[in-house]
Amino acid sequence: MKKNFVAIFLTMTFFVFSALTVGAQPVDKVEQKLDEAWVAYNIGQYQKVLQLVQPLASDGNARAQIILGRCYENGLGVPQDMEMAAKWFRLAAEQNNSEAQVLLAYQYELGIGVPKNDATVVDLMTRAANAGSAEALFNLALYHGQGKYGFAKDPAESFRLAKLAADKGYAQAERYVGACYDHGVGVPENKAEAQVWYGKARAQGLEVEGNVFNFVREYSMP
């Protein structure tokens, strides 16, 4: 009886291990395909990108949905279709993907592919910011700084949010924080500290130019 129990236990262990091993293979293959698709995207092989990501996006992979959405957004390998871009960004955003939430929020902000909707912009950006997205934090900083989308104009809160984004290495936020210190907006003026943050932004290729406090988002057709 004891031998039978040991045999049964070993058999069950083998099947559990086998199931885990088999289950891991598709995950590895999916990641490999996504990495391959991203490389192809960056070197302009868009038909290959579509071939790789379309099945994965249809199966619910958020990363594939974002790549496919970007193809539709920019007309890469497919006719430009902002409604389709929004569709794929939305599917990824519903999985709490912060990158997709930001991309979809931009469409609602500009009214491209979806109707303009200020409340949806704020909801998506807030969710992405709460998940730690530096880009979303910076956008909320702009909204507070400009008094947009129902927020009262609040330079101090704008600086706080921008600083959170800058601390994550987001270049536009670094430049913005530098400008806040430079002009004493939302924080006491500190020219030396301003140069520190300007320097961080420059190190990422972002020069100090124009009025960063009156930033207006625009969409250019590719």
Total domains present in the chain: 1
- The pLDDT score that the predictor gives to residue 212 is 83
Asked if the structure places residue 164 within a domain, the reply is yes
Alpha-carbon separation of residue 22 from 8, 9, 25, 201 (angstroms): 21, 20, 5, 46
Asked if the structure places residue 204 within a domain, the reply is yes
Asked if the structure places residue 181 within a domain, the reply is yes
Asked if the structure places residue 182 within a domain, the reply is yes
Structure tokens at 196: 């520190």
Asked if the structure places residue 147 within a domain, the reply is yes
Would you call 80 helix, strand, or coil by DSSP?
coil
- The pLDDT score that the predictor gives to residue 9 is 39
What distance in Å separates the CA atoms of residue 102 and residue 129, rounded to the nearest whole number? 9
Asked if the structure places residue 154 within a domain, the reply is yes
Amino acid at 21: T
What distance in Å separates the CA atoms of residue 116 and residue 20, rounded to the nearest whole number? 46
Cβ count near 42 (within 10 Å): 9
Helical segments of 61-97, H only: 62-74, 82-93
Asked if the structure places residue 189 within a domain, the reply is yes
Q: What is the DSSP letter of 10?
A: H
Largest Cα separation within the chain, whole Å, is 83
Kindly report the pTM of this predicted structure: 0.83
Candidates 155, 83, 72, 74; CA nearest to 115 is: 83
For 191, the domain range is 136-214
Cβ count near 141 (within 10 Å): 29
* 143: enclosing H helix or E strand: helix 134-146
Buried b (16+ CB within 10 A) or exposed e, 51-66: ebbbebbeeebbbbbb
- The pLDDT score that the predictor gives to residue 216 is 73
- The pLDDT score that the predictor gives to residue 185 is 96
Alpha carbon dihedral 45, 87, 28, 11, in 10-degree steps, equals -150
What distance in Å separates the CA atoms of residue 125 and residue 119, rounded to the nearest whole number? 10
The per-residue pLDDT for range 58-89, each reduced to its tens digit, is: 999 999 999 999 999 999 999 999 999 999 99
- The pLDDT score that the predictor gives to residue 207 is 85
- The pLDDT score that the predictor gives to residue 208 is 79
State which residues of the chain have pLDDT below 70: 1-25, 210, 218-222
What distance in Å separates the CA atoms of residue 113 and residue 41, rounded to the nearest whole number? 22
Asked if the structure places residue 68 within a domain, the reply is no
